[in-house]
Structure 1
């Protein structure tokens, strides 16, 4: 998430003195962390995480980050590890802990495109050790090439990385590609072949544009073409156009990542961002294009499908105590035709799983070959 997505402290109206944690305790909403997906299962399991910089995750030390996280009975409001320096862990350790998911999408990796050493380090960090029986993974990058809109911090801004389990890559993946309308390193697509009654899938790793009043420049000429708000709305239209074309071509679409939009009042705490007004316009445009408009995608928000009235958040700014100010801006959206295939969807909503980032991971899994309606009674 771009740093100014969450409202400044003075712009948020406090709803009493409760944090997310104390409010949930009062409402008796303490829930257990679900079990990790079964290792190498037939389900398609996707994790997505805005890591706010990849470097800490290529290191081998694994101190307090995953301490105790092998226990599936970990409460969502667990505050262990909330204080003290941000711990680190390797990507390989995260994949192992979560039961070897099919895909791990990372956003805001902050790698300069010319930094081959860091790219190789990430690639090595997800590979299986020689002689290991554990699954192997490969890392694919989409890094910025736009010299007019991506200039800060030595080019270490934005960028996404798709980490794909090798057996899935060999047997199911048709191609890993980008889009020609983005040069900021924000979109990468994994597309699959139809197999054993499973439809073709177009699975998007997204780090969406944040709406601000900063100028947006033509990527070729550098001429100012409006604001970042204008660019955000333009990207909504471009993304929708691609999704509709893919569905017409027989693909089922899954959008995963930091969408930089909190959809509704329930998705912001202590309140939803409404200032300045342009954020409300951006939100309405996003909801219309991808959920509400019959001429749009009419997608399924997988978390809200399974947890209709549950409050859950994915962005926790490090400038605030965990739970004081947070938003659900990391989403997994799928084509309506995949509704009955959604098996589970949630987030790992603890300070420990935030780690050195300011987001927590989100995940969803899909089961094919049978209709699967899950166990949640709130499912619509």
Structure 2
């Protein structure tokens, strides 16, 4: 099974860049999308009813902001949000229950300049960890995917020393990521590629993508007992259309 994740930075904008055609060509089993920046009533039918897929959208209450969506060939058993108003208000979380795992598609907050939203982000992070732990304690496997808005280690961004005071690489954010993984979770790409330098996001400024000055902030994370189901974790950094590129997790399930 191929599970894709992509921060599209505006689903209406990326539609004009061949998004639907890319989905049909790439043929993911499940595609998780972040930062849709749209209410479902603003979308064309072509975007909500891609041939062969069920689609589910959860938007922020504020128009043109945040939002997540899932396109799936396999109908989920259940779908839920976070049930925490301050996070659901911004359309940041969608959880789909399947037979073999619970899939969490999420768009983590940006801590912003000078850490203006760091407290909000850390509250979100805490809620994510709590939910993952609840599921694992119930005997469920989890696949957490999306834009986590953090580069965990020096290998995960081009200029770590210059970015130590910048959002996405603040000590508090990296410390939380370390704590989360130490609680029994696996960063699948880094697990399979411990020394590979590859990025999933590039600033639109300074020709950053052309120069490959980037950050790896998009992830698939699984619980440790699911690790033997991992077949591959890939970053599709040649796919254009957003300031992020898609990331893919291939897993074996019954």
Counterpart in the other structure of 1:97: 25
1:56 is displaced (CA, Å) by 3.3
Counterpart in the other structure of 1:339: 227
1:119 is displaced (CA, Å) by 5.8
Unpaired runs of at least 5, structure 1: 1-43, 60-87, 129-135, 194-198, 216-226, 370-380
Q: Is the 8 A contact 2:9 2:34 kept in 1?
A: yes
CA deviation string 1:257-297 (max 9, x = no partner) = 10001010000013362015981112112221x212xxx3x
Q: Is the 8 A contact 1:122 1:139 kept in 2?
A: no
Q: Is the 8 A contact 2:66 2:90 kept in 1?
A: yes
Q: Is the 8 A contact 1:56 1:89 kept in 2?
A: no
Alignment of 1:1-380 (within 5 A): 44-59=1-16, 88-91=17-20, 93-98=21-26, 100-111=27-38, 113=39, 116-118=41-43, 120-124=45-49, 126=50, 128=51, 136-145=52-61, 150=62, 155-165=63-73, 168-169=74-75, 173-181=76-84, 182=87, 183-193=89-99, 199=100, 201-212=101-112, 227-271=116-160, 273-276=163-166, 279-288=170-179, 290-292=180-182, 296=183, 298-321=184-207, 322=209, 323-350=211-238, 353-355=239-241, 357-368=242-253
**Which structure shows the bigger proportion of residues in helix conformation?**
2
Change (3 A) 1:119 1:144: farther
Counterpart in the other structure of 1:223: none
Q: In angstroms, what is the RMSD of aligned CA positions?
A: 2.0
- Partner of 1:338, secondary structure, is helix
- Structure 1 stretch displaced more, 279-288 or 46-55: 279-288
Unpaired runs of at least 5, structure 2: none
Give TM-score, length-normalised by structure 2.
0.90
CA deviation string 1:96-155 (max 9, x = no partner) = 322x211111111110x3x5141644213x1x2xxxxxxx1021001112xxxx4xxxx2
* Distance in 1 of aligned mates of 2:214 and 2:166: 18
Give TM-score, length-normalised by structure 1.
0.62
1:95 is displaced (CA, Å) by 2.2
* Distance in 2 of aligned mates of 1:270 and 1:97: 35
- Structure 1 stretch displaced more, 50-59 or 206-215: 206-215
Q: Is the 8 A contact 2:114 2:166 kept in 1?
A: no
1:307 is displaced (CA, Å) by 0.8
1:368 is displaced (CA, Å) by 2.8
* Distance in 2 of aligned mates of 1:119 and 1:161: 15
**Which structure shows the bigger proportion of residues in strand conformation?**
2
- Partner of 2:201, secondary structure, is coil
* Distance in 2 of aligned mates of 1:348 and 1:238: 29
- Partner of 2:244, secondary structure, is coil
Change (3 A) 1:336 1:213: same
